[in-house]
Structure 1
Amino acid sequence: MANQNDSFIDEVTDELRRDRLFTAFRRYGWIAIALILALVGGAAWREHSNSRAESSARAWGDAIMAADDAENRVAALEGIDAGDVAGRKVLAEMLAAGAEAEAGQADKASQRLLAAADEPGLEPLLRDLAQLKAVMVAGAEMDAAQRDGILAALSKPGAPFEMLALEQKAVALIGAGRTEDAIVLIRQIQQKDGLSEPLRRRLAEMMITLGADPDEAQGPGPQSTTVAPSE
């Protein structure tokens, strides 16, 4: 009799457990279903968004290539819709500035690059690149104080274009007739780690042009690498 009672109690307990589970599922099961649908829907949306972004980037790239082959490259590049992507707009502006520089419009190209560098939401790397290109394109025609300010920021230790900005400082010193300061600065650059081979060659060529030994050891630092005249 005891075994029968125990069996009956077990059956009742199982039934109660199943009934409670069914009740809980009816009460909370929709949450699990909603979570599953959200996960599946989110994955589908991400895939759709990625596909749209890829198509947009491909179309923009095709437009850039077509504009580069156009007779009026600047106008063609200006007509490309970059959407709300600041980087695309600035890259197109850089290409347009390059076309202007090739056409002998260095000042116009430099102003375009400086304006592009001020584009809201632009990544710091592209901003720095646009500013550096503006200095290189303008050359001696850029206001010395403006050039010095830009190069001072770009040549800070660890900056992405530190070496190239230092090279432009040396170029500016040479242009200002400060040969000795330029030589000392070039030697300092030559001692830095991570110097690319093309830059190393350019620095050596600059030293030869200045009548200095391209491989001479580093000397004392210059009094100042600022080119703008002091007031």
Structure 2
Amino acid sequence: MSNTDSFIDEVSEEVRRERLFGFIKRYGWIAVLAVVLIVGGAAWNEWRQARDAAQAQAFGDAILASLAKDSPEARRAALLAIPAEGAQRAVIAMMAAEGSDGAGPAVTQLEEIVAGGELPQLYRDLAALKIVMIEQDTLPLERIAALLEPLQAPGAPFRLLALEQLALAEVAAEQKDAALERLRAILEDGDATPDLRRRVSQLIVALGGSLDAG
């Protein structure tokens, strides 16, 4: 009886072995393909990360080289000559606009960023704010209000800064009462930073207004 059981066990084991080999012959290529895909995907991901790191370093090196130029004009020209796409283009435009006194290539790029829809709203808002700060003395109040309108939405990151710039534009347009009302609203806003509160308070006093509520 034990010999029979042993024989049956051997036959069963052989059948299982034959089934396993058959399964491997039939479906083994799937496992091989999965391994190839996993290894290839990991290698491609490593290559992509190395490429992105090299591009970021080259972009940073180009900015540093541009900022090392002797004059603001040379720095601005070198910055605008750096090949850039997407968010990098927005960064370049805002850096090149630093110290600008009005219309120019940097401001033109900022306007293109505001008008375009390919970049996230954050970059478009920053570009609009930068345009207003550069051209505050030359843009009409209506144009400033239009540029800053998207920035004033509830929860927008630059909402209070936009309101500050709009109040300055109202002062320039001799709309003192409107400016004071807007400045007091900023002062009472819980999200206002200490620096912003200080600037707003100084402007209210300079306009002859009161810091007291009401």
TM over 0.5: yes
Q: Does 1:37 align with 2:39?
A: no
Aligned length: 210
- 1:129 matched to which residue of 2? 126
> What fraction of aligned residue pairs are identical, expressed as a percent?
39
Query: Is the CA contact (8 Å cut-off) linking 2:141 and 2:170 kept in structure 1?
Result: no
- 1:93 matched to which residue of 2? 93
1:187 partner SS: helix
Q: Does 1:196 align with 2:193?
A: yes
* Contiguous gaps of at least 5 residues in structure 1: 220-231
- 2:103 matched to which residue of 1? 107
Tell me the CA shift for residue 135 of structure 1.
0.9
Higher mean C-alpha deviation, range 188-197 or range 61-70: 188-197
Alignment of 1:10-159 (within 5 A): 10-71=9-70, 72-82=74-84, 85-99=85-99, 101=100, 104=101, 106-108=102-104, 109-119=106-116, 121-159=118-156
TM-score if structure 2 supplies the norm length? 0.91
Tell me the CA shift for residue 127 of structure 1.
1.0
Write the distance in 1 (CA, Å) between the matches of 2:34 and 2:108.
53
TM-score if structure 1 supplies the norm length? 0.85
Query: Is the CA contact (8 Å cut-off) linking 2:93 and 2:109 kept in structure 1?
Result: yes
RMSD after superposition: 1.6
Tell me the CA shift for residue 120 of structure 1.
5.2
Write the distance in 2 (CA, Å) between the matches of 1:39 and 1:196.
50
| One-letter amino acid of the counterpart of residue 103, structure 2 | D
| One-letter amino acid of the counterpart of residue 34, structure 1 | L
Structure 1 runs of 4+ aligned residues shifted over 6 Å read: none
| 1:31-63 per-position Cα deviation (integer Å, ceiling 9, x unaligned) | 111111211111111111111101110110110
1:140 partner SS: coil
| 1:80-106 per-position Cα deviation (integer Å, ceiling 9, x unaligned) | 112xx311112111122224x1xx3x1
| One-letter amino acid of the counterpart of residue 81, structure 2 | G
Query: Is the CA contact (8 Å cut-off) linking 1:110 and 1:135 kept in structure 2?
Result: no
| 1:7-51 per-position Cα deviation (integer Å, ceiling 9, x unaligned) | 211110110001100110111111111111211111111111111
